[in-house]
Amino acid sequence: MSKNETIKVALAQIAPVWFDREATLEKVIAYLEDAADKHCQLVTFGEAIVPGYPFWLDITNGAKFNCDKQKTIQAEYSKQAVQIERGDLNNLCNAAKENKISVYLGIIERPEDRTGHSLYCSFVYIDQKGIIQSVHRKLMPTYEERLSWSPGDGHGLRTHKLAAFTVGGLNCWENWMPLARAALYAQGEDLHVACWPGNLQNTVDLTPVMAKEGRSYILSVCGLMRPDDAKNCIPELDEVGNSAEPLLANGGSCIAAPDGGWLIEPQVGEEGLYTAELLHSKVREERQNFDPAGHYSRPDVTQLIVDRTRQSTVIFKD
C-alpha cells in the first residue's frame, strides 16, 4: 500500500476563548501540535472558532435596531476578529510549517479589502508549508447571523491537493447548498470538510448524506460552547454567561466514509481531538458506480457557472 494512499486527519472539537482572538489562536496551535504529534496530515476546526460564534444574538435581543448594547458588543467582536493582512494568522502558519500539517480553520474575518470593518464568516485553508491557500467567505449567513456577518463571495470555492486526496470545505449551512457542493465536486473534491458552530442535529443526518452523494469522505468538525465560556468578557454579555442552557453548542463532530458509514460517530458534549485514517482506494471503489461530476454527470444537459472573483465595491484605474 502506497504511503500516499492513506492520510491521518484530526477533528479538533474545542470551545473558543470567547471574544479573545489571541488566546483562542494559542489554543488552536496547541491542538495543531497535538495532532501533529499523533502523525496527522490535516487538522480541522469549527466555524467561527476565532474569536467565537455570535451566540449573543439569540439571547440579548440582537435584532433591536440602533441599540447601544448591540453596538458595543459588535464593536468588541469586530476588534477581536481576524485581519489576515495584519498578520493575525502568522503564528498559526508558522506552526503549520514547523509541524508539516495542513489546517482548516473557521474564523471571523475583518478584511481590509471590504473597508476593514465589516465581518465575514470565513474558512481558511493553510497548507503544510504554512501558506494560506484559500479564504472562503460564507456565501449566505444563516438567519440571525446576518445581524453580525456580511454575505461573502465565490472566491474561496477552491480545492487543494493533500497526498492522494483533493480537499475542500464549506461553512455550516452552505453544506446544504447543492450548487456550492457541486462547485467543489467539479474540482475533484473527494475529502470534504464541513465546519459547524456545534450541534448534533446539524451533523448526524447531513454528514452521511453528503458522503453518499459525493462518494467522498466527509469531516464534520464542530465547536463547543458552555455558558461559562462567556464569562469574563464584557458586561453586555452577562446574559450569555448566565444562560440556563447547559450547552450553547454541544459539538457533534464526526467523519463519514464514502459509502455513508461512520468512521467516527458524532462526539457530543466534550472537547477533544478525534483522529482517523482515510484510505483513498475507498473513494475510488464508491466512484465505480457513481461519480457526481464525472461519468454520472451530463454537462451537455446541465452546467454550473461559478464566479470566483473577489467582490469589491470599487475598481480603481490609475
Residue 192 identity (one-letter amino acid): H
Task: For residue 172, indicate whether it is catalytic.
Answer: yes
Catalytic residue among 47, 109, 145, 189: 47
Give residue for cell 493533500: 162
Given a contact cutoff of 8 angstroms between Cβ atoms, the answer to whether 125 and 169 are in contact is: yes
Q: How many residues are there in the chain?
A: 318
Task: For residue 47, indicate whether it is catalytic.
Answer: yes
Compute the distance between CA of residue 233 and CA of residue 223 in angstroms, rounded to an integer: 18
Q: Could you tell me if residue 86 is left (phi over 0), alpha (psi between -120 and 50 degrees) or otherwise beta? A: alpha
The closest of 124, 156, 125, 126 to 139, measured between CA atoms, is 156
Given a contact cutoff of 8 angstroms between Cβ atoms, the answer to whether 114 and 314 are in contact is: no
Give residue for cell 496530515: 41
Task: For residue 138, indicate whether it is catalytic.
Answer: yes
Catalytic residue among 138, 145, 222, 286: 138
106: three-class secondary structure by DSSP = strand
Strand ranges in 163-310 using DSSP code E only, listed in sequence order: 165-171, 191-196, 217-222, 224-225, 249-256, 262-268, 272-279
The three three-digit cell numbers of residue 26, written as one number: 494559542
The three three-digit cell numbers of residue 66, written as one number: 440602533
Catalytic residue among 40, 172, 195, 233: 172
Between CA 43 and CA 273, with CA 26 as vertex, the angle to 5 degrees is: 35
The set of catalytic residues is: 47, 138, 172
